[in-house]
Protein backbone atom coordinates (compact mmCIF):
# COMPACT_ATOMS: atom_id res chain seq x y z
CA UNK A 1 0.00 0.00 0.00
CA UNK A 2 1.40 3.38 -0.97
CA UNK A 3 1.93 5.76 1.90
CA UNK A 4 2.63 9.47 2.12
CA UNK A 5 3.37 12.09 4.74
CA UNK A 6 1.12 15.05 5.45
CA UNK A 7 3.31 17.87 6.75
CA UNK A 8 1.80 21.07 8.15
CA UNK A 9 4.23 23.98 8.22
CA UNK A 10 4.80 26.65 10.81
CA UNK A 11 5.94 24.67 13.86
CA UNK A 12 9.25 25.27 15.66
CA UNK A 13 11.07 21.99 16.43
CA UNK A 14 12.47 21.59 19.91
CA UNK A 15 13.77 18.73 22.03
CA UNK A 16 16.26 15.85 22.14
CA UNK A 17 16.67 13.11 19.53
CA UNK A 18 18.97 10.07 19.63
CA UNK A 19 20.67 8.84 16.47
CA UNK A 20 21.01 5.10 15.81
CA UNK A 21 23.68 3.27 13.84
CA UNK A 22 24.55 4.43 10.34
CA UNK A 23 22.71 2.99 7.35
CA UNK A 24 25.85 3.49 5.27
CA UNK A 25 27.81 1.37 7.76
CA UNK A 26 25.50 -1.39 9.01
CA UNK A 27 24.79 -2.81 5.54
CA UNK A 28 28.51 -3.08 4.75
CA UNK A 29 29.24 -4.62 8.16
CA UNK A 30 26.53 -7.20 7.51
CA UNK A 31 28.22 -8.07 4.22
CA UNK A 32 31.60 -8.31 5.96
CA UNK A 33 30.16 -11.03 8.22
CA UNK A 34 30.48 -13.31 5.16
CA UNK A 35 34.25 -13.32 5.73
CA UNK A 36 34.14 -15.44 8.90
CA UNK A 37 32.48 -18.76 9.67
CA UNK A 38 30.31 -18.54 12.78
CA UNK A 39 28.00 -15.95 14.32
CA UNK A 40 28.73 -12.23 14.02
CA UNK A 41 26.59 -9.90 16.15
CA UNK A 42 26.02 -6.24 15.35
CA UNK A 43 24.59 -3.80 17.89
CA UNK A 44 23.05 -0.32 17.44
CA UNK A 45 21.59 -1.29 14.07
CA UNK A 46 18.98 1.16 12.71
CA UNK A 47 15.48 -0.22 12.25
CA UNK A 48 15.18 0.70 8.59
CA UNK A 49 13.91 -1.17 5.53
CA UNK A 50 17.37 -1.84 4.07
CA UNK A 51 18.50 -4.00 7.02
CA UNK A 52 15.97 -6.81 6.40
CA UNK A 53 16.70 -6.45 2.67
CA UNK A 54 20.39 -7.11 3.32
CA UNK A 55 19.36 -9.99 5.57
CA UNK A 56 17.52 -11.50 2.57
CA UNK A 57 20.67 -11.15 0.49
CA UNK A 58 22.79 -12.93 3.10
CA UNK A 59 20.18 -15.66 3.56
CA UNK A 60 20.24 -16.23 -0.19
CA UNK A 61 23.97 -16.87 0.14
CA UNK A 62 23.45 -19.49 2.85
CA UNK A 63 23.60 -17.47 6.08
CA UNK A 64 21.09 -17.46 8.92
CA UNK A 65 20.10 -13.96 10.01
CA UNK A 66 18.17 -13.02 13.15
CA UNK A 67 17.04 -9.40 13.58
CA UNK A 68 16.16 -8.61 17.20
CA UNK A 69 15.34 -4.90 17.38
CA UNK A 70 18.65 -3.06 17.05
CA UNK A 71 20.73 -6.24 17.25
CA UNK A 72 21.46 -8.40 14.21
CA UNK A 73 22.94 -11.91 14.48
CA UNK A 74 24.48 -13.35 11.28
CA UNK A 75 25.56 -17.00 11.23
CA UNK A 76 27.81 -17.72 8.28
CA UNK A 77 28.38 -21.37 7.28
CA UNK A 78 31.68 -22.94 6.24
CA UNK A 79 30.47 -23.00 2.65
CA UNK A 80 28.60 -20.00 1.21
CA UNK A 81 27.11 -19.56 -2.23
CA UNK A 82 28.99 -17.24 -4.59
CA UNK A 83 25.77 -16.46 -6.47
CA UNK A 84 24.03 -13.24 -5.43
CA UNK A 85 22.06 -12.92 -8.64
CA UNK A 86 18.53 -12.65 -7.28
CA UNK A 87 15.79 -10.07 -6.80
CA UNK A 88 16.71 -8.81 -3.30
CA UNK A 89 20.16 -7.77 -4.57
CA UNK A 90 18.67 -5.59 -7.29
CA UNK A 91 16.55 -3.57 -4.87
CA UNK A 92 19.25 -1.45 -3.23
CA UNK A 93 22.74 -0.21 -3.97
CA UNK A 94 24.49 -1.47 -0.82
CA UNK A 95 23.97 -5.09 -1.90
CA UNK A 96 27.07 -4.79 -4.08
CA UNK A 97 29.09 -4.84 -0.83
CA UNK A 98 28.92 -8.66 -0.89
CA UNK A 99 31.18 -8.72 -3.97
CA UNK A 100 34.49 -8.39 -2.12
CA UNK A 101 33.70 -10.91 0.64
CA UNK A 102 32.44 -13.47 -1.89
CA UNK A 103 35.59 -13.22 -4.01
CA UNK A 104 37.71 -13.51 -0.84
CA UNK A 105 35.83 -16.55 0.55
CA UNK A 106 34.72 -18.37 -2.62
CA UNK A 107 37.26 -17.09 -5.18
CA UNK A 108 34.29 -16.34 -7.41
CA UNK A 109 31.16 -14.21 -7.32
CA UNK A 110 28.14 -13.38 -9.40
CA UNK A 111 26.34 -10.31 -8.04
CA UNK A 112 23.30 -8.79 -9.71
CA UNK A 113 23.79 -5.16 -10.67
CA UNK A 114 22.14 -3.22 -7.87
CA UNK A 115 19.30 -0.72 -7.86
CA UNK A 116 18.76 1.96 -5.20
CA UNK A 117 18.41 5.72 -5.27
CA UNK A 118 17.99 7.68 -8.50
CA UNK A 119 20.82 10.13 -7.88
CA UNK A 120 23.02 9.53 -10.89
CA UNK A 121 25.46 7.11 -12.47
CA UNK A 122 27.39 4.88 -10.06
CA UNK A 123 29.30 2.37 -12.21
CA UNK A 124 31.34 -0.52 -10.84
CA UNK A 125 34.45 0.09 -12.93
CA UNK A 126 36.65 0.99 -9.93
CA UNK A 127 35.38 -2.06 -8.03
CA UNK A 128 36.31 -4.27 -10.98
CA UNK A 129 39.70 -2.62 -11.55
CA UNK A 130 40.61 -3.07 -7.89
CA UNK A 131 39.69 -6.75 -7.89
CA UNK A 132 41.60 -7.28 -11.12
CA UNK A 133 44.72 -5.75 -9.54
CA UNK A 134 44.35 -8.39 -6.80
CA UNK A 135 44.34 -11.14 -9.44
CA UNK A 136 40.68 -11.61 -10.31
CA UNK A 137 39.09 -11.50 -13.73
CA UNK A 138 35.80 -9.59 -13.95
CA UNK A 139 33.06 -8.93 -16.46
CA UNK A 140 29.48 -7.71 -16.69
CA UNK A 141 27.28 -10.56 -17.91
CA UNK A 142 23.49 -10.89 -18.12
CA UNK A 143 22.87 -8.04 -15.68
CA UNK A 144 25.41 -9.18 -13.10
CA UNK A 145 29.03 -8.47 -12.25
CA UNK A 146 31.04 -11.70 -12.37
CA UNK A 147 34.44 -12.12 -10.72
CA UNK A 148 36.73 -15.17 -10.67
CA UNK A 149 40.07 -15.61 -8.95
CA UNK A 150 42.21 -18.68 -8.47
CA UNK A 151 44.20 -16.77 -5.87
CA UNK A 152 44.10 -13.19 -4.59
CA UNK A 153 47.50 -11.53 -4.17
CA UNK A 154 48.18 -8.15 -2.58
CA UNK A 155 48.88 -5.24 -4.90
CA UNK A 156 49.30 -1.49 -5.07
CA UNK A 157 45.98 0.05 -6.09
CA UNK A 158 45.18 3.72 -6.68
CA UNK A 159 41.59 4.87 -7.09
CA UNK A 160 40.72 7.58 -9.61
CA UNK A 161 38.15 8.91 -7.11
CA UNK A 162 37.81 8.11 -3.38
CA UNK A 163 34.79 5.88 -3.98
CA UNK A 164 33.25 4.51 -0.79
CA UNK A 165 31.89 1.37 -2.45
CA UNK A 166 35.10 0.56 -4.30
CA UNK A 167 37.15 1.11 -1.15
CA UNK A 168 34.86 -1.29 0.75
CA UNK A 169 35.00 -4.09 -1.83
CA UNK A 170 38.77 -3.82 -2.25
CA UNK A 171 39.17 -3.88 1.54
CA UNK A 172 37.00 -6.94 2.07
CA UNK A 173 38.68 -8.81 -0.77
CA UNK A 174 42.25 -7.96 0.24
CA UNK A 175 42.01 -8.92 3.93
CA UNK A 176 42.25 -12.61 2.92
CA UNK A 177 44.67 -12.07 0.02
CA UNK A 178 48.30 -13.19 0.13
CA UNK A 179 50.75 -10.43 0.93
CA UNK A 180 50.31 -6.69 1.30
CA UNK A 181 47.83 -4.41 -0.44
CA UNK A 182 48.30 -0.64 -0.51
CA UNK A 183 45.18 1.29 -1.46
CA UNK A 184 45.79 4.95 -2.35
CA UNK A 185 43.13 7.64 -2.63
CA UNK A 186 40.88 5.51 -0.45
CA UNK A 187 37.61 6.87 0.94
CA UNK A 188 37.99 8.41 4.41
CA UNK A 189 34.36 8.38 5.59
CA UNK A 190 33.60 7.42 9.22
CA UNK A 191 31.73 4.41 7.84
CA UNK A 192 34.97 3.19 6.20
CA UNK A 193 36.74 3.60 9.54
CA UNK A 194 33.94 1.57 11.18
CA UNK A 195 34.42 -1.22 8.63
CA UNK A 196 38.20 -1.23 9.17
CA UNK A 197 37.74 -1.39 12.94
CA UNK A 198 35.35 -4.34 12.64
CA UNK A 199 37.66 -6.19 10.24
CA UNK A 200 40.61 -5.66 12.58
CA UNK A 201 38.52 -6.98 15.46
CA UNK A 202 37.91 -10.07 13.30
CA UNK A 203 41.67 -10.56 12.91
CA UNK A 204 42.49 -8.50 9.82
CA UNK A 205 45.61 -6.31 9.67
CA UNK A 206 44.62 -2.89 8.33
CA UNK A 207 46.48 0.36 8.94
CA UNK A 208 45.60 3.91 7.94
CA UNK A 209 41.84 3.94 8.55
CA UNK A 210 40.57 7.50 8.19
CA UNK A 211 43.44 8.49 5.89
CA UNK A 212 43.70 8.34 2.11
CA UNK A 213 46.14 5.40 2.20
CA UNK A 214 45.18 2.00 3.56
CA UNK A 215 47.73 -0.77 4.08
CA UNK A 216 46.22 -4.26 4.32
CA UNK A 217 48.31 -7.30 5.19
CA UNK A 218 46.43 -10.44 4.24
CA UNK A 219 45.67 -13.11 6.81
CA UNK A 220 44.58 -16.73 6.41
CA UNK A 221 41.36 -16.57 8.39
CA UNK A 222 38.99 -14.18 10.20
CA UNK A 223 36.83 -14.86 13.25
CA UNK A 224 33.27 -13.73 14.03
CA UNK A 225 32.90 -10.96 16.64
CA UNK A 226 30.45 -8.53 18.29
CA UNK A 227 30.58 -4.95 17.06
CA UNK A 228 28.64 -1.73 17.68
CA UNK A 229 27.72 0.27 14.56
CA UNK A 230 28.92 3.90 14.40
CA UNK A 231 26.25 6.62 14.72
CA UNK A 232 24.56 7.89 11.55
CA UNK A 233 26.06 11.29 10.70
CA UNK A 234 23.59 11.90 7.85
CA UNK A 235 20.55 11.38 10.08
CA UNK A 236 22.22 13.56 12.70
CA UNK A 237 22.88 16.24 10.09
CA UNK A 238 19.25 16.09 9.00
CA UNK A 239 18.14 16.89 12.56
CA UNK A 240 20.69 19.72 12.73
CA UNK A 241 19.29 21.32 9.58
CA UNK A 242 15.72 20.72 10.78
CA UNK A 243 16.53 22.84 13.85
CA UNK A 244 17.97 25.65 11.75
CA UNK A 245 15.21 25.64 9.14
CA UNK A 246 12.39 25.82 11.71
CA UNK A 247 14.23 28.33 13.94
CA UNK A 248 14.19 25.58 16.54
CA UNK A 249 16.39 24.09 19.26
CA UNK A 250 17.40 20.42 18.92
CA UNK A 251 19.97 18.38 20.84
CA UNK A 252 21.25 15.32 18.97
CA UNK A 253 22.94 12.41 20.79
CA UNK A 254 24.63 9.21 19.62
CA UNK A 255 27.00 10.87 17.15
CA UNK A 256 30.59 12.14 17.16
CA UNK A 257 30.38 15.87 16.19
CA UNK A 258 33.71 15.64 14.34
CA UNK A 259 31.93 13.50 11.74
CA UNK A 260 29.80 16.57 10.88
CA UNK A 261 32.36 19.31 11.38
CA UNK A 262 31.83 21.10 8.06
CA UNK A 263 28.04 20.70 8.04
CA UNK A 264 27.79 22.21 11.52
CA UNK A 265 30.22 24.99 10.55
CA UNK A 266 27.89 25.94 7.68
CA UNK A 267 25.02 26.25 10.16
CA UNK A 268 27.11 28.60 12.28
CA UNK A 269 27.68 30.76 9.20
CA UNK A 270 23.90 30.73 8.64
CA UNK A 271 23.42 32.22 12.11
CA UNK A 272 22.80 29.17 14.30
CA UNK A 273 24.26 28.61 17.74
CA UNK A 274 26.03 25.25 17.74
CA UNK A 275 27.37 23.52 20.86
CA UNK A 276 29.25 20.22 20.62
CA UNK A 277 29.69 17.48 23.22
CA UNK A 278 31.55 14.16 23.33
CA UNK A 279 28.55 12.23 22.05
CA UNK A 280 26.37 14.83 20.35
CA UNK A 281 25.61 18.47 19.68
CA UNK A 282 22.93 21.15 20.03
CA UNK A 283 21.71 23.47 17.26
CA UNK A 284 19.63 26.54 18.11
CA UNK A 285 18.41 29.12 15.60
CA UNK A 286 16.56 32.25 16.70
CA UNK A 287 16.38 34.10 13.37
CA UNK A 288 15.87 33.63 9.68
CA UNK A 289 18.93 31.75 8.33
CA UNK A 290 21.52 33.69 6.34
CA UNK A 291 22.44 32.53 2.84
CA UNK A 292 25.51 30.25 2.70
CA UNK A 293 27.30 28.58 -0.23
CA UNK A 294 27.83 24.81 -0.26
CA UNK A 295 30.06 22.47 -2.26
CA UNK A 296 29.66 18.71 -1.88
CA UNK A 297 32.85 16.64 -1.71
CA UNK A 298 33.95 13.28 -0.32
CA UNK A 299 34.63 13.23 3.44
CA UNK A 300 35.77 15.42 5.16
CA UNK A 301 33.97 17.71 2.71
CA UNK A 302 30.28 18.59 2.86
CA UNK A 303 28.31 15.33 2.40
CA UNK A 304 26.37 14.90 -0.82
CA UNK A 305 23.72 13.13 1.29
CA UNK A 306 23.04 16.45 3.06
CA UNK A 307 22.77 18.43 -0.16
CA UNK A 308 18.93 18.37 -0.16
CA UNK A 309 18.96 19.78 3.37
CA UNK A 310 21.34 22.53 2.22
CA UNK A 311 18.95 23.38 -0.63
CA UNK A 312 15.99 23.39 1.75
CA UNK A 313 17.59 25.86 4.14
CA UNK A 314 18.89 28.00 1.27
CA UNK A 315 15.35 28.21 -0.11
CA UNK A 316 14.16 30.19 2.93
CA UNK A 317 17.45 31.94 3.77
CA UNK A 318 18.08 35.68 3.61
CA UNK A 319 20.16 36.19 0.47
CA UNK A 320 21.50 34.17 -2.45
CA UNK A 321 23.17 30.77 -2.07
CA UNK A 322 25.16 28.79 -4.65
CA UNK A 323 25.22 25.03 -4.15
CA UNK A 324 27.65 22.91 -6.15
CA UNK A 325 27.22 19.13 -6.53
CA UNK A 326 30.49 17.32 -7.24
CA UNK A 327 29.55 13.71 -6.45
CA UNK A 328 26.23 12.62 -8.00
CA UNK A 329 25.13 14.45 -11.13
CA UNK A 330 21.41 13.64 -10.89
CA UNK A 331 20.93 14.84 -7.33
CA UNK A 332 19.47 18.16 -8.56
CA UNK A 333 16.24 16.34 -9.45
CA UNK A 334 15.34 17.47 -5.96
CA UNK A 335 15.28 21.08 -7.16
CA UNK A 336 12.25 20.37 -9.39
CA UNK A 337 10.26 19.40 -6.31
CA UNK A 338 11.45 22.46 -4.42
CA UNK A 339 10.20 24.62 -7.28
CA UNK A 340 6.74 23.14 -6.68
CA UNK A 341 7.00 24.50 -3.14
CA UNK A 342 7.79 27.99 -4.37
CA UNK A 343 11.58 28.00 -4.14
CA UNK A 344 13.42 30.47 -6.39
CA UNK A 345 16.13 28.24 -7.82
CA UNK A 346 17.99 27.91 -11.13
CA UNK A 347 20.14 24.94 -12.09
CA UNK A 348 23.21 25.51 -14.24
CA UNK A 349 25.16 22.30 -14.80
CA UNK A 350 26.32 21.09 -11.41
CA UNK A 351 25.47 24.39 -9.71
CA UNK A 352 22.14 25.67 -8.43
CA UNK A 353 21.58 29.32 -7.55
CA UNK A 354 18.93 29.84 -4.89
CA UNK A 355 17.40 33.18 -3.91
CA UNK A 356 15.81 32.71 -0.54
CA UNK A 357 12.13 33.49 0.00
CA UNK A 358 10.59 34.18 3.39
CA UNK A 359 8.19 31.26 3.22
CA UNK A 360 7.46 28.33 0.93
CA UNK A 361 3.96 27.30 -0.18
CA UNK A 362 2.56 23.81 0.26
CA UNK A 363 1.71 21.33 -2.49
CA UNK A 364 2.21 17.66 -3.46
CA UNK A 365 5.84 16.60 -3.94
CA UNK A 366 7.58 13.29 -4.73
CA UNK A 367 10.67 11.70 -3.16
CA UNK A 368 13.23 10.44 -5.66
CA UNK A 369 15.66 9.07 -3.07
CA UNK A 370 16.14 8.75 0.69
CA UNK A 371 17.73 12.14 1.30
CA UNK A 372 15.53 14.03 -1.16
CA UNK A 373 12.50 12.69 0.71
CA UNK A 374 13.84 13.91 4.05
CA UNK A 375 14.72 17.27 2.51
CA UNK A 376 11.16 17.67 1.21
CA UNK A 377 9.78 16.98 4.68
CA UNK A 378 12.06 19.68 6.11
CA UNK A 379 10.89 22.10 3.42
CA UNK A 380 7.28 21.21 4.24
CA UNK A 381 7.91 22.22 7.84
CA UNK A 382 8.36 25.84 6.70
CA UNK A 383 5.70 25.91 3.95
CA UNK A 384 2.31 27.55 4.38
CA UNK A 385 -0.45 24.96 4.64
CA UNK A 386 -0.13 21.20 4.26
CA UNK A 387 2.53 19.61 2.07
CA UNK A 388 1.96 16.05 0.85
CA UNK A 389 5.20 14.04 0.43
CA UNK A 390 4.76 10.96 -1.78
CA UNK A 391 6.91 7.82 -2.23
CA UNK A 392 7.95 7.88 1.43
CA UNK A 393 9.23 4.29 1.25
CA UNK A 394 12.48 5.94 0.20
CA UNK A 395 12.63 7.79 3.53
CA UNK A 396 11.87 4.60 5.45
CA UNK A 397 14.99 3.05 3.89
CA UNK A 398 17.23 5.51 5.75
CA UNK A 399 15.36 7.11 8.66
CA UNK A 400 14.06 4.94 11.51
CA UNK A 401 10.82 6.18 13.13
CA UNK A 402 11.04 9.44 11.20
CA UNK A 403 7.43 10.52 11.74
CA UNK A 404 7.48 9.56 15.40
CA UNK A 405 10.72 11.43 16.08
CA UNK A 406 9.54 14.53 14.24
CA UNK A 407 6.26 14.46 16.14
CA UNK A 408 8.14 14.22 19.44
CA UNK A 409 10.02 17.39 18.46
CA UNK A 410 6.74 19.22 17.84
CA UNK A 411 6.26 18.74 14.10
CA UNK A 412 2.76 18.40 12.68
CA UNK A 413 3.23 15.34 10.49
CA UNK A 414 1.11 12.29 9.78
CA UNK A 415 1.67 9.09 7.81
CA UNK A 416 -1.37 8.16 5.71
CA UNK A 417 -2.22 5.46 3.16
CA UNK A 418 -4.28 5.53 -0.03
CA UNK A 419 -7.44 4.94 1.97
CA UNK A 420 -7.02 8.24 3.84
CA UNK A 421 -5.88 10.56 1.07
CA UNK A 422 -6.83 10.69 -2.59
CA UNK A 423 -4.80 12.51 -5.24
- φ, ψ at 6 (rounded to 5°): -100, 115
Residue 327 assigned as binding residue: yes
Cβ 371 vs Cβ 234: under 8 Å: yes
Residue 24 assigned as binding residue: yes
**Rg of the chain in Å (alpha carbons):** 21
Catalytic residue ranges: 117
Residue 43: partners with Cβ closer than 8 Å, 6 or more residues away: 21, 70, 71, 226, 227, 228, 229
The C-alpha atoms of residue 67 and residue 118 are separated, in whole angstroms, by 28
Residue 305 assigned as binding residue: yes
The C-alpha atoms of residue 149 and residue 109 are separated, in whole angstroms, by 9
Q: Which helix (H) or strand (E) holds 38?
A: strand 38-43
Q: Which parts of 183-332 fold into alpha helices (H)? A: 190-201, 233-245, 261-269, 307-315
Cβ 126 vs Cβ 104: under 8 Å: no
The C-alpha atoms of residue 355 and residue 252 are separated, in whole angstroms, by 29
Residue 90 assigned as binding residue: no
Residue 270: partners with Cβ closer than 8 Å, 6 or more residues away: 244, 285, 289, 290, 291, 292, 313, 317
| Binding-site positions | 23-24, 93, 305, 327
| Bind-site residues for UDP-N-acetyl-alpha-D-glucosamine | 93, 305, 327
State the binding site for phosphoenolpyruvate: 23-24
Amino acid sequence: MKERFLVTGGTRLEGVVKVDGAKNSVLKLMAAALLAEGTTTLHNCPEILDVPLMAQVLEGLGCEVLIDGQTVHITTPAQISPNADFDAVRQFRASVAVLGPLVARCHEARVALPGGDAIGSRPLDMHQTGLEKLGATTRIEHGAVVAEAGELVGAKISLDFPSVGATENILTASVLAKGETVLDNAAREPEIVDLCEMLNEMGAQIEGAGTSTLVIRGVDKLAPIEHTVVGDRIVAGTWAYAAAITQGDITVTGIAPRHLHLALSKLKLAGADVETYDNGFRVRMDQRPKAVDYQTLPFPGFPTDLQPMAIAIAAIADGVSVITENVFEARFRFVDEMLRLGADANVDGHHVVIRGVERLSSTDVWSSDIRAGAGLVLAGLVAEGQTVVHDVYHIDRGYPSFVEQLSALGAKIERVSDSKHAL
